[in-house]
Amino acid sequence: MARRFGLDALPHTVNRRRIYILPSGFGLALAALILAMLVAALNYNNNLGLAFAFLMTSIALVAMHHCHRNLLGLVVDAETEADGFAGANAAVAFTLENVSGLDRYDVQIRCADDAVGTASVAATSRRGLVVYVPIARRGVRRLAQFELATRYPFGWFRAWTYVQAAVTIHAAPQPQGERPRSGASVALGATLRGDQPGDEDWAGLRAYAPGMPLKHMAWKVLARGEEAAVRTYSSPAADPEWLDWYTLAGVPIEARLAQLCRWVLDADRAARPYGLRLPETSLGPDTGPAHRRACLRALAAHDEAAAA
Amino acid sequence: MSPRVSRQGLLWTSGCLALVLLPHIGGMPPWVLILCGIAAIVRVSLAAGGRDAPPTLLRSLIALAAIALLFVQFHTFNGLTAGSALLGLVAGLKLLETRTRRDVCVMILLIYFLSLDALLVDSSFWLLAYLLGVCWLTSATLLRLTVTEPGPAWPASLRYAGRILLQAMPLALMLWLFFPRLTEPLWQLTDNDQGATSGIGETMSPGDLSDLAVSDEIAFRVHFFGLAPPAEQRYWRGPVLDQFDGRVWRRADPDGTAAAGLRTEGPEYRYRISLEPYPHKWIFTLDRPTAWDAATHAQLTSDGMLIGPGPMSLGLTMIASSQPRWRDPEALPEAARRRETALAPAGRNPRTIALARALHREHPDERDFVTSVLEMVHSQDFFYTLSPPPLESKDPVDEFLFDTKRGFCGHYASAFAVLMRAGGIPARVVTGYYGGTFNRYSDYWILRQSDAHAWVEIWIDGQGWQRIDPTSAIDPRRVDRRLRDEQAAISLANVDLQSALPWFAALRLRTDALRQLWRERILRYNQDSQQSVLALLHVPDPDAEKLVFMLAATLAAALGWLTWQVRYELRPPPRDALRRAYAQLCAKLAGVDLPRAVHEGAEAYALRIAGSRPELASAVGALCRRYNELRYGPQATREEIAAFVRRVRAFRPRGSRAS
């Protein structure tokens, strides 16, 4: 499929030529019903019966066009990277935009057989849709395409299209393990970083300069009409902590990664700067969600062959 | 697992089932309908109590019992009546167990089929219109119940289903017009006597026609291509009865095809006759048929009856020609002469026979004899009445001619034929229809059962069988004045109103014209009609192949239109139209010397105008406010914008710098 149409740039507008449509099981039942109607009406030579059977045929044909149209011109965008933990779901975020003047109902996005989300998008509006992809194993999983589908109206037909845009799912190991995360890494960290302003303890006010974080602004001081100031903190425990692959020598690889994952999450929750050291890379030390994500992705990507 | 269906969904499904079963009242066994009703009530109330369908075992037992009962009643599931009863039963039982969306889908399909089923039984325009409505509601229900997300609400579902139905109409019309029709049914029907109504029967004994005479039912309709024949020739020939047992006239076995010697004369009338269903093989034609539709496979018998291949249980429409005069120069074969002069077993109706012999002695010439009999009917106090006294003796003709002297066409025809036979003249009774009402709104004649008539044919050497209508010999003064009153008493609604209110008669004719149009153009639409539609579209040499081509071409066109239409509806709402309308409004105001300043918003502009031209304040204020709402408020619909455009177009500011 990808070879035929190439890769799709996101956001992608659903193209007429790439919408496929086939009757559903219910549609086949309807077809059988219409056939029975035709036979009955023809047999009884009944023109009104025939008219009704033809009306049903026509309604089905119109419904087919409407089903096709329910996808036509829909604009879909997706976050191409998603994160999750093995044994849980990865949330892949999509955005559906309906630029037309008609409401679209029951648009389904399918990333995998077991990862389906459904949404309706009102006329000239946009809405997000999160599809939860269940993850069995640690690793980096690349979904080469996703499917947009609909059965609206009536459920007699199923129209679908494939969007050739890859979504990468970084499945970090399931966080596990109770080993303490102190050790040799701390000393190494101390030499790298001196006392750095941290977020822990109140250390007085400093004059405000552009670029300082607004969340530390001393608003009460400013409200008194004095010079703008920011609060500063210092943290005695601000020494970066290293979460090191090599401290877990002798532990099986997956268990090691699971333990590291646990540590990353704990350290992140404690909001201390931490670094992650793996055989192929070392990250940080740093804090914040971006760093946490980078660490988890590194854990997901570690020696994928081993995970399989 | 398919999702559960809500109580509201159940209610709508039950409602659709009730609506589709409504036309089946009278057709289905009442207990099936009652069972469906109970099932609906039980299921919906269970759902109201938050409970599920009744247990499977109970449902299976009910189903088995009901189906067994149905079989006991009909002994078959084949055929229309038993089939639709079974279908209704299945629908009711299915409703009882409806739980998931999947069940609703099955229900909806059953409802669709029950709609078709109703049309197979009755084929009136109103039923079709009603079932279109039911189809619309059913489709809306299906639409609403197959959406997973909180989909369109009920009003929006109804609108959308209606739109789909409307878009399906042209396609359905093309299919209906050009889909090739079968000439023969796929297989023979088991119950094809439906629709057979009372009419002229195979026997006649005076008294039998009395119930027909007052029946207002339509027997057939006739359209003449060109002039209609004069009244004295509008005799519609039906069964010829030539065996008499003293009381009842019967039809002898018809003997083959037309007599070779018959020569028809006079102007030829071509007409299209459409017969209502009746359970006999003969086809009524204007006396005497000369040519008829070969497709009917009808045969002309030697006594001038047109006999079709089977009972006219579905009615018939055909084009035929007749000539009102004929003669047969050949001699009547001896066997036929014996048959046509045969009287009842000896001793029946002795006074009549004696009278005939006396008259014949007096008037040896055939013509004089006939005239004398007619003269007798005219001069003696014979009355024409629709409620004659009953003739109970074993000599009913004697009783009529000498005692009661009151009767209608059957009495006169019977007595006249007996007199002729007794006088040695071959005579036979012909039944059929006479006269008719002209529908001036649609150029055709209506023949009702009340136009049923009986007359006599006698053999005159050198001329063959000639028609004599003894009833017409009655002195008009002795035609019962109460006739109209009696008819009025029996079918009060029609006749009385008709005579009292001329417009009612006109209305009746008009509705009949429409009904006839419906029958001819829609219900009897067939291969021939398809050919004439093709001819109307200037297709040269229309044939079956061209029909299929036409079907393909029109379908392609209709589908092309549909494709365009569904995409056209997809276009974004016309924000530009809104902007253009506002510019137009500003231009109109500039035309009365109130140009909008470049920096001015709509609100400020309206305020300024209200200040300088108070008479425009309310109109301009409302328009500007609406513009702001549409432009900056929540997403305006296409209809709202179109309405605004129309309002701006209609807006005419008056006055200018002169004022």
In a domain, A77, yes or no: yes
pLDDT at A307: 53
Interface touch A47/B147, C-beta < 8 Å: no
Task: Give the containing element (helix H, strand E) for B417.
Answer: helix B409-422
Residue with tokens 């709202």: B640
- Mean pLDDT value of segment A80-96: 90
Which of the listed ranges A292-306, B71-85, B477-491, B581-595 does the model predict with the highest average pLDDT?
Answer: B581-595
* A283/A241 same-domain check: yes
Output phi, psi for A159, to 5 deg.
-105, 140
Residue A163's closest CA among A177, A144, A178, A187?
Answer: A144
From B16, B36, B409, B586, active-site residue: B409
* A211/A279 same-domain check: yes
B150 touches chain A (CB under 8 A): yes
Beta strand pairing status for A81-85 and A104-112?
unpaired
Phi-psi sector, A80: left (phi>0), alpha (psi -120 to 50), beta:
alpha
pLDDT at A306: 58
| B648-658 pLDDT per residue, tens | 888 888 765 44
In A, which residues are within 8 Å of B572 by CB distance? 99-101, 124
Of all residues in chain A, the one with the smallest CA distance to B192 is: A44
SS3 letters for B180-202? CCCCCCCCCCCCCCCCCCCCCCC
In A, which residues are within 8 Å of B161 by CB distance? 153
Q: Give catalytic status of residue B403 as yes or no.
A: no
* A162/A261 same-domain check: no
Q: Which two tokens stand for residue B468?
A: 């004599």
Interface touch B185/A62, C-beta < 8 Å: no
ipTM of the complex: 0.77
* A166/A206 same-domain check: no
List the domain range (segments joined by +) for residue A50: 1-172
| A28-64 pLDDT per residue, tens | 999 999 999 998 888 877 889 999 999 999 999 999 9
| B62-103 pLDDT per residue, tens | 888 888 888 888 777 777 778 888 899 999 988 888 888 899
* A158/A203 same-domain check: no
- Mean pLDDT value of segment B624-645: 82
In B, which residues are within 8 Å of A103 by CB distance? 152
**In chain B, % of residues over pLDDT 70:** 89
In A, which residues are within 8 Å of B182 by CB distance? 42, 45
* A108/A165 same-domain check: yes
| B213-265 pLDDT per residue, tens | 456 678 888 999 888 888 888 899 988 888 888 888 888 766 556 666 778 88
In a domain, A179, yes or no: no
Is the per-residue pLDDT at A224 higher than 60?
Answer: yes
CA distance A115 to chain B (A): 16
Is the per-residue pLDDT at B637 higher than 50?
Answer: yes
Distance CA B81, CA B69 (A): 15
Residue A168's closest CA among A271, A65, A84?
Answer: A84
What average pLDDT does chain B have?
A: 82
pLDDT at A110: 93
Which of A172, A206, A234 corresponds to the end of one domain? A172
DSSP string, B493-521: IIIIHHHH-HHHHHHHHHHHHHHHHIIII
pLDDT at A38: 92
**Residue A137: CATH number of its domain:** 2.60.40.10
Q: Please give the tally of structural domains in chain A.
A: 2
Confidence band for A212, pLDDT divided at 50, 70 and 90: low
pLDDT at B562: 92
Nearest to A46 among B120, B146, B638 (CB): B120
Which of A172, A203, A236 corresponds to the end of one domain? A172
Interface touch A30/B139, C-beta < 8 Å: no
pLDDT at B155: 86
* A210/A300 same-domain check: yes
pLDDT at B140: 94
Interface touch B164/A124, C-beta < 8 Å: no
Of all residues in chain B, the one with the smallest CA distance to A74 is: B570
CA distance B82 to chain A (A): 14
Of all residues in chain A, the one with the smallest CA distance to B170 is: A58
In A, which residues are within 8 Å of B116 by CB distance? 37, 40-41, 49, 52-53
Which of A108, A140, A172 corresponds to the end of one domain? A172
pLDDT at A197: 46
CA distance A38 to chain B (A): 10
| A107-116 pLDDT per residue, tens | 999 998 888 9
Q: Give catalytic status of residue B52 as yes or no.
A: no
DSSP string, A212-245: S-GGGB-HHHHHTT---EEEEEE-TT-S-EEEEG
Interface touch A106/B148, C-beta < 8 Å: yes
In a domain, A157, yes or no: yes
Nearest to B635 among A39, A68, A124 (CB): A124
* A212/A158 same-domain check: no
Interface touch A100/B189, C-beta < 8 Å: no
pLDDT at B191: 44
R_g over Cα of chain B: 36
In a domain, A180, yes or no: no
In this predicted model, which residue has the larger pLDDT, A283 or B16?
B16
* A206/A151 same-domain check: no
Which of A58, A64, A108 should we substitute to test contact with B (largest number of B Cβ atoms within 10 Å)? A58
Interface touch B573/A124, C-beta < 8 Å: yes
B638 touches chain A (CB under 8 A): yes
| A163-190 pLDDT per residue, tens | 998 899 998 888 888 877 664 344 344 4
Interface touch A72/B164, C-beta < 8 Å: no
Q: Is the pTM of this model over 0.95?
A: no
| B582-628 pLDDT per residue, tens | 888 888 888 888 888 878 888 888 888 888 888 888 888 888 888 88
What is the CA A66 to chain-centroid distance, rounded?
A: 30
In order of their start, the domains of chain B are 7-151 (no CATH), 210-327 (no CATH), 334-433+452-480 (3.10.620.30), 575-650 (no CATH)
| B164-196 pLDDT per residue, tens | 999 999 999 999 999 888 766 665 544 443 433
| B493-526 pLDDT per residue, tens | 444 455 566 777 777 778 878 877 887 788 878 7
* A151/A215 same-domain check: no
Of all residues in chain B, the one with the smallest CA distance to A58 is: B168
In a domain, A177, yes or no: no
Of all residues in chain A, the one with the smallest CA distance to B151 is: A105
From B453, B512, B586, B624, active-site residue: B453
Interface touch A154/B176, C-beta < 8 Å: no
pLDDT at B77: 74
Confidence band for B159, pLDDT divided at 50, 70 and 90: very high
* A164/A195 same-domain check: no
From B287, B303, B469, B512, active-site residue: B469
- Mean pLDDT value of segment A62-89: 91
In B, which residues are within 8 Å of A50 by CB distance? 176, 179
Interface touch B172/A106, C-beta < 8 Å: no
pLDDT at B324: 85
| B291-345 pLDDT per residue, tens | 888 878 888 888 888 888 888 877 788 899 998 888 888 888 888 888 888 887 7
DSSP string, chain A: -HHHH-PPPSSEEPPGGG-EEEE-HHHHHHHHHHHHHHHHHHHTT-HHHHHHHHHHHHHHHHHHHHHHHTTTT-EEEE-SEEEEETTSEEEEEEEEEE-SSS-EEEEEEEEETTEEEEEEE-TTEEEEEEEEEE--SSEEEEE--EEEEE-TTTTSEEEEEEE---EEEEEEPPP-------STHHHHHHHH--S---SSEEEEEEE--TTS-GGGB-HHHHHTT---EEEEEE-TT-S-EEEEGGGGTTS-HHHHHHHHHHHHHHHHHHT--EEEE-SS-EEEEE-SHHHHHHHHHHHHHTTHHHH-
pLDDT at A232: 62
Q: Give catalytic status of residue B469 as yes or no.
A: yes
* A16/A138 same-domain check: yes
In a domain, A69, yes or no: yes
Q: Tell me the β-bridge partners of A41.
A: none
Of all residues in chain A, the one with the smallest CA distance to B637 is: A101
In a domain, A224, yes or no: yes
pLDDT at B135: 96
pLDDT at B139: 95
Of all residues in chain B, the one with the smallest CA distance to A53 is: B116
Q: Which two tokens stand for residue B498?
A: 């008709």
Distance CA B404, CA B385 (A): 11
Q: Which two tokens stand for residue A171?
A: 């499945």
pLDDT at B557: 93
Of all residues in chain B, the one with the smallest CA distance to A120 is: B149
pLDDT at B485: 46
B517 touches chain A (CB under 8 A): no
pLDDT at B171: 93
Interface touch A55/B169, C-beta < 8 Å: yes
In this predicted model, which residue has the larger pLDDT, B55 or A160?
A160
Which of B80, B107, B108, B119 should we substitute to test contact with A (largest number of A Cβ atoms within 10 Å)? B119
Is the per-residue pLDDT at B272 higher than 60?
Answer: yes
CA distance A106 to chain B (A): 6
Interface touch B113/A33, C-beta < 8 Å: yes
In a domain, A2, yes or no: yes
Task: Give the containing element (helix H, strand E) for B370.
Answer: helix B366-379
